[in-house]
Amino acid sequence: MATQHDENYPTVRVTKTVSVLPKSLNPTQTIHLSNLDRQCPLLMYVVFFYKSSAAYQNLSLDSIFSCLKSGLEETLSIWYPAAGRLNLNPSDGKLNLWFGCGGYSIGIGSSHSLFDGPATYDFLHAWASNSAILKQKRGTELYKPVHERGALLVENPGITKLPESGSSATRAVAIDHLYQLIKQAMSGQTCGPDTKFGSGKLPDVGNSNLVLKTFHLSGAMIESLKSKVFGERSGSFSCSSFELLAAHLWKARTKALGVMKGSMVCLQFAVDIRKKTVPPLPEGFSGNAYVLASAALTAEELEAGSHEDIVDKIKEAKRSISNDYVIAYNQALDGPQGTLPPLNELTLVSDWTRMPFHKIDFFHGEAAYVSPLLSPIPQVAYFMQNPIDSRGVDMRIGLLPQSLNAFSHYFLTKMQ
């Protein structure tokens, strides 16, 4: 069933803080980040929970901590960008990376500018492999990480500029839609009772106001939604769980936030481009290799549209991601760093279902649960694998307190 997490948990206290350095130091250098790295230069936190086990009874916390520390020292020798420091280039205002020197839980915080989701998964897997707790080290990785951004760099000194997109100029639709949403918000012609605009100012919907909730959606619930949406055609209509849940989420969130019917609304979601660039990015590429795909409608069209219509819009947005789109998107991000204002009209989704984080075994066996804590943009909805139900999806999302009940109602009604 779908549940919302209770908030009456014991307080976590910090008892020790240590600095962890790579086991072997690499020469000091600057790694030029790509524009894709710079699009979300904020901290991402993930926590792993492991059940208690009789196998751990004779292990002290100090010995476990020592194994994790030693494993991280070894991993940082190969994944050395994670041991670096982010700084702004004073000449162009761009972000670059520079380096110098009972049960259990493991929490990790890192800048999204270092790694995207797939690269973070590989890094954490390497760390777990190098931390020999009740198991032998598993040797070298399947492939070595590639940290240089190479073809994704646009105009850094000494770096080849990306090729032009050709005679038929491709637009970065997601960037165009964001500009339209911001212009709409500045005009004060947007949405309903939860957010008010005035005097050309952007909405004051701070991230600190958002309540983070996780909804557990079983495989049976997802099938029930598919059956209710598509009826007898549910077996023949090609639709992934991501596409169906993203469409359903977009409709429920927009309605719960009271967006005015004439307002433009967007659904944007991350698309991995490792296999979409020409040539494809090298195996083990560790940087950010995603762009946002975007679908746009008016709030009225979204509410009136069928789930099938919305799924078709999502499929169309997916199909639009080509090498030309990546080039246009990358070049559109070129410039000094900035942050995206919170917008009710923008629904963001990040799909982690192909990255089984719970299978990263820092201890002996899989994690009982893994969850992002405070994400770089808390209103993003994360779709994650359910550790127990292989067909289930856990959705974690940040919502305004005054819209939480309405969202839960609209989102869960068709799933039960």
Q: What is the DSSP string of 79-94?
A: SGGGGEEEEE-TTT--
Number of residues that make up the chain = 416
248 counts as catalytic: no
Q: Would you give the DSSP letter of residue 415?
A: G
**Structure tokens, 142:** 């399947």
Buried/exposed code over 68-93 (b: 16+ C-beta within 10 A; e: otherwise): beebbbbbbbbbbbbbbebeeeeeee
Please choose, from the candidates 406, 153, 119, 123, the residue with its C-alpha nearest in 3D space to the C-alpha of residue 277: 153
First-to-last CA distance in the chain? 8
Would you say 324 and 165 are in contact if contact means Cβ atoms under 8 Å apart? yes
Choosing from 32, 112, 125, 248, the catalytic residue is 112
Query: Within 13 A of 325's CA, how many CA atoms are on the CB side?
Result: 20
Interstrand relation of 30-31 and 290-298 (parallel, antiparallel or unpaired): unpaired
Residue 165, C-beta contacts closer than 8 angstroms, at least 6 positions apart: 324, 327, 328
**Within 13 Å of residue 236, how many CA atoms lie on the same side as its CB?**
3
- Which amino acid is it at 394? D
C-alpha triplet 41, 47, 49: angle, nearest 5° = 170
CB atoms within 10 A of CB 167: 5
Cis peptide before 279 (omega within 30 of 0): yes
DSSP state of 285: B
Angle of helix 241-256 versus helix 219-230 axis, rounded to 10: 80
Inter-residue contact 35 to 154 (CB < 8 Å): yes
Q: In this structure, which amino acid lies at residue 54?
A: A
Distance from C-alpha of 22 to C-alpha of 64, rounded to nearest angstrom: 19
Q: What tokens were used for 190?
A: 């947007």
Active-site residues: which are they? 112
